[in-house]
Amino acid sequence: MSGVVDLAAVKAASEARQKAEARPQAGPGSRDAAPGARLVFDVTEAGFEADVLQRSAEVPVVIDFWAEWCGPCKQLGPVLERLAAEYAGRFVLAKVDVDANQMLAQQFGIQGIPAVMAVVGGQLVPLFQGASPEAQVRQVLDQLIEVAETQFGIVGAPVEPGEGTAAAPEAPQDPVLAAAHDALDRGDLGGAIQAYRNVLSDRPGDAEAKLGLAQAELLQRVQGLDAQTVRKEAAEKPSDPRAQIAAADLDMVGGHVEDAFSRLVDTVRRTAGEDRDAVRVRLLELFEVIGADDPRVVAARTALARVLF
């Protein structure tokens, strides 16, 4: 049960920040209000010691490291939040925005997002990195809960349905988009892809469907890939478009957005003809995964233009 981070150092840093600055007071109904009584809550560097380390003596605390720009995070986050409600107190979910809490991400050795870890009885338990199908997430959570109960004697307190979750009204959903999102959450990537394509056939400019389709297609492409083999081949064949495209997909799923973009821009520089066009098209597809307004996309578009023109 040893981890990759010195939690004592994290605790000390958290205590120092608590002394240096007063913690913001969250308003009623907000997600990070009273984290001790909630199933899903935001965590800052200042509050880590109380909200995670101390809480982990009572219930497994799953930590979701995410960022607003991260497309795979937007797919995984709702799955984790829904499962936190479904498991009804057997674990709680702490959300860490790595952009707002860079020191905390460094202390945990986060190399790519989304990254999911847990703390049980003050001990770090690395779980997984990158977006995963819901079935695999459930399996990991079940194993975590079993470890917490058998090795630490920690059993989360059950809550009544609706307790510990924010009482926010839900906006009405487009039923076609909702079906596509549900398929994506279930890991039915083929069904999700077809559903998003159906939406786009009627509404070609639908930004939400474009994002969902790009994410689903990315996840489908990396299914069954052996990461070690793909990266070895990419290192040995820097001008091979197929090898670099596959490695860029893995970079993207792992949250290494800039690495994926720079890899493909460099490959465009090295190639010509149909090979160059294939790499360029994949790069444009990856832009869709995180959205055109993301600063990383803007920078990569500029770099691509310099290579092409």
- Residues labelled as active-site residues: 70, 73
Q: Which DSSP state fits 169?
A: P
Q: Which DSSP state fits 52?
A: I
* Distance (Å, whole) CA 20 – CA 253: 37
Residues in contact with 198: Cβ distance below 8 Å, sequence separation at least 6, in sequence order: 176, 180
309: helix, strand or coil: coil
Buried b (16+ CB within 10 A) or exposed e, 263-280: bbbbbbbebeeebbebbb
228: helix, strand or coil: helix
- For strands 40-42 and 92-97, give the pairing: parallel
* Distance (Å, whole) CA 292 – CA 299: 11
